[in-house]
Amino acid sequence: MSKDAKKIKIKRGKVVSYNKWGYIFLIPFLIVFLCCVIIPQVMTFYYSFCDYYKSGLKIVGPTWVGFKNYGDLFAPSAGGIIQFFKYLGNTLIMWIMGAVPQILIALLLAVFFTSYRLNIKGQRFFKTVIYMPNLIMASAFAMLFYNIFSNVGPVNQILNSMGIDTVDFLFITVSSRSLVALMNFLMWFGNSTLVLMSGIMGIDASLFEAASIDGASSLKVFFKVTLPLLKPILIYCVITAMIGGIQMYDVPQVLTAGNGSPNETSYTLMMWLQRFIGESKNYGMGGALSMVLFIVSVVLSLFVFRFLVKKKEG
Amino acid sequence: MAAYNNKVKDMSKENVRARLMLFISRFVVYFILAFLTILCLFSFYLLIINASRSNSELQAGFTLIPSGHFWENLKNAWFIDQTYNALSIGRGLLNSLIISSGVALLSCYFSALTAYAIHVYDFKLKNAAFVFILAIMMIPTQVSSLGYIQLVGDLGLGNWFYFSMIIPSIAAPVVFFYMKQYMDSVLPLEIVESARVDGSGEFMTFNRIVLPIMKPAMAVQAIFQFVGSWNNYFTPALLATKVTDVNMKDGVNTLPIMIAYLRSMQNSKDFDLGLVYMFILLAILPVIVIYLVLSKAIVGGVTSGAVKG
C-alpha cells in the first residue's frame, strides 16, 4: 500500500466518524414519524380487516373478518345508493366548482402581476389581500358564511328589502354546494396566484423579449410561451389542490353542522371518515375508508414527488 | 414626400391605438382586482360591523355602519361559559395558544435538525431518507388519524391532550423540505468545517452557528406552523373525544372545536347573534393581527419553499 492510499484511508475514516452524527440527528424525526404516522397507519390498515365497533357501551372486536369492511364500504345502502360514490361525487363536484375558477383566476392574476406592459401598481396590497383568506380558520370562516347566508342573515335581509322571498341557502343543493365551493375558492386562489407568479418569474425573460420583438401579441405570448413553460408548475398546483380537495372537511362540516344538508348533497368523504371515527365509532369501516383515501393520496403524491425531483435535477 | 407624411400619420395612429388598448386593458385589470379585493374583504368587514351590533339591531336589518354594542357583545361572548361550559373562549384561546406555540417551536427546531443531518453529513441511507421524506410529504394526516387516536387512547394518554397534539409536529416533512431548500442556498459546508477546526462539537455547531443562520427560514415556518395548528380542526376534534376525565373534558377544547359546537347549537336554538359574531371575531383575531404585522414575510414565504422558480 502506498503512502498516499494510506493517507486517504485515514481521511476517510475521519469523515465516517463525523457522519455518524447524520444518523443521530435523524433519530428524533424517525422515532416520532414511526410512532405518530407509521404505526398508526399500520394499525389503521389492520383495523380495516376487523370487526371493530362500539355497540352501546361495549367495544366489539377487533376480530379478523378479511375484506368485509371494504365490501360494506362499496355496498349499496337502503335506497340503492352506494354511499361511497355519493360522497366521492359530492367531494368531486364541490372541488371542481372551487378549483377551476381558483386555477383560472390565479393564472390570470399571475400574468397580470408579472406583466411589464401593464405594470400594475399596488401589487403588495393586492397580494396581501388575496392571500389573507388562506390563513383564516376554515371553521370560523364557514361559521361566518353560515350566519351571513342564514335565514335571518344579511344576505336574506337584502333580498327581502328588494322584495324577494327568503332563500334558504342550505336547503338548496346548488346553493349549498356553491357556498362550499366559493369558500374554498376564496381560501385558495391567493395561494395559487403566488405559486404561479413565482413560476412565471422563473421563466427566462429573454424568451418574452424575443417574442415581443417578433411582434407577438400578449395573447400569443401567453399561449405559446408562458403556458407551455408553466405547465409543470401548473400541474403541481392542480395536484396539490386535488390533495387539498380530498381533505375537504372543515368548511362543509361547520357550514351544515355536520349533516351535509340538503339531503347529504354537500357531505364529503372526510366528513364520513370523521363520523366513523368520532361519532359512530365504527373503527373497522373507518379503517377501510382511511386506507382507500390513503391510496388515493399516495397516487397523487407521486405526481408531486416527480415534480420536485425533476426540479432538483433540472 | 407625401408618402413619407402618410407613413408618419400611420405610425402615430398606431401609437394612439396601442396606448388606448393599454389604457383599456389596465382599466379592466384594475376592475378585476378591485372586485376580488372586495370579495375577499367584504365578509370580514361584515363580521367586524356585526360584532358591534346588538341582537335586535342584527334582526332588524342590514347595514354597513358599526353600532355601539361592541363591549357588550365582548362581555357576553367572554362569559358565555357560565351557561355553556364547553364554550369558555378564554380557555380556548389559551389551549390554542399552548398547542400552536408548541407545534411551531418543535416543528421548526427538529425539522432544521433533520435537514441539517441530510445537508451536512454523508451517510449510506442519506439519499434514501431524503427521497422517503419527499415522497410522504403530501400524504394527509387524516388517513392515519384513526390509528393515532387509538394509539394515544390505548397508551392511556387521553389526558395528555396537549402532548398528543404537539409531539407529532417533530416529524414535519413540509417544514423539513423548506429548511433543506434554505440550507442549500445559505449554508456552505465550509462554515461547519471551520467550526470543527475550532473544536466545536457537532451538536453545538448546530445550535450555536447553524440555527442563527437559519433564523429567517425558522421565522417564516414558525408563522405557518402556528397558524396551521391554530386553525386545525379534524384531529383535535377526534382527540378531544378521547379525553375521559370529567374535569378535563370541556377544558381541552380548542377554538375550532368551540366554533363547530356553537354552530351545531345554532341549529336548534336562537342565539344572541351579536355574541356569535363576536365569538368568530375573537377566534380569528390573533391570526389577523399576526398577518397584518408580518404580511410581507408571510406572502414572501409562501413560494420560497416548495416551488422556488
CATH number at residue B85: 1.10.3720.10
Which of A118, A233, A305 is facing B307, going by the closest CB pair?
A: A233
Q: What count of other Cβ atoms lies within 10 Å of the Cβ of residue B302?
A: 21
Q: Is residue B33 part of a domain?
A: yes
CA distance A82 to chain B (A): 21
pLDDT at A1: 41
Same domain for B137 and B205? yes
* Ramachandran class of A257: left when φ > 0, alpha when ψ lies in -120 to 50, beta otherwise: left
Q: Which long-range contacts does B61-65 make (Cβ < 8 Å, 24+ apart)?
A: B61/A157, B61/A161, B62/A154, B62/A157, B62/A158, B62/A161
Chain A residues touching B42 at Cβ < 8 A: none
pLDDT at B225: 92
Domain boundary pick from B72, B99, B128: B72
Output the CA–CA distances (angstroms, integers) from residue A264 to A84, A96, A99, A175, A267, in the order listed: 12, 18, 21, 13, 5
Asked if residue B135 has pLDDT above 90, the reply is no
**Which residues 5-44 of chain B have a CB within 8 Å of chain A?**
22, 25-26, 29-30, 32-33, 36-37, 39-41, 43-44
Domain boundary pick from B50, B72, B94: B72
Output the CA–CA distances (angstroms, integers) from residue A261 to A169, A172, A256, B280, B287, in the order listed: 10, 8, 6, 22, 30
pLDDT at A294: 93
- Specify the number of domains making up chain B: 2
Residue of A nearest to B286 (CA): A136
pLDDT at B3: 59
Q: Is residue B309 part of a domain?
A: no
B266-308: pLDDT as tens digits: 888 888 888 899 999 999 999 999 999 988 888 888 776 544 4
Answer yes or no: do B150 and A128 touch at CB < 8 A.
no
Phi, psi of B59 (to 5 degrees): -70, -30
Asked if residue B7 has pLDDT above 80, the reply is no
Same domain for B57 and B178? no
pLDDT at A2: 45
Same domain for B21 and B128? no
pLDDT at A271: 94
pLDDT at B307: 45
- pLDDT level of residue A6 (50, 70, 90 thresholds): very low
Same domain for B61 and B93? no
Q: Is residue B231 part of a domain?
A: yes
Same domain for B121 and B200? yes
Answer yes or no: do B238 and A233 touch at CB < 8 A.
no
Residue in B18, B293, B230 with CA at minimum distance from that of residue A128:
B293
Same domain for B124 and B21? no
* CA A65 to centroid of chain Cα atoms: 33
Domains along the sequence of chain A with CATH: 80-313 (1.10.3720.10)
Chain A residues touching B41 at Cβ < 8 A: 129, 132
pLDDT at A22: 86
Q: Is residue B254 part of a domain?
A: yes
Chain A residues touching B241 at Cβ < 8 A: 278
Which of A43, A253, A300 is facing B147, going by the closest CB pair?
A: A43
Answer yes or no: do A26 and B46 touch at CB < 8 A.
no
Q: Is residue B141 part of a domain?
A: yes
Domain boundary pick from B20, B50, B72: B72
Measured distance CA(B100)–CA(B176) in Å, rounded: 18
Partnered with residue B235 across adjacent β-strands are none
B86-126: pLDDT as tens digits: 888 898 999 899 999 999 999 999 999 999 999 988 888 88
pLDDT more than 70, % of chain B: 91
pLDDT at B158: 53
pLDDT at A129: 93
A184-202: pLDDT as tens digits: 999 999 999 998 998 888 8
> Do the beta carbons of residue A276 and residue A296 sit within 8 Å?
no
Chain A residues touching B62 at Cβ < 8 A: 154, 157-158, 161
DSSP classification of residue A80: S
Same domain for B116 and B126? yes
> Do the beta carbons of residue B254 and residue B166 sit within 8 Å?
no
- For residue B281, what are the domain limits? 74-304
Same domain for B230 and B282? yes
Asked if residue A120 has pLDDT above 90, the reply is no
Peptide bond before residue A262 is cis, with ω within 30 degrees of 0: yes
- pLDDT level of residue B15 (50, 70, 90 thresholds): confident
Q: Among A188-192, A279-283, B16-20, which range has the highest average pLDDT? A: A188-192
Same domain for B226 and B283? yes
Same domain for B286 and B140? yes
Same domain for B106 and B123? yes
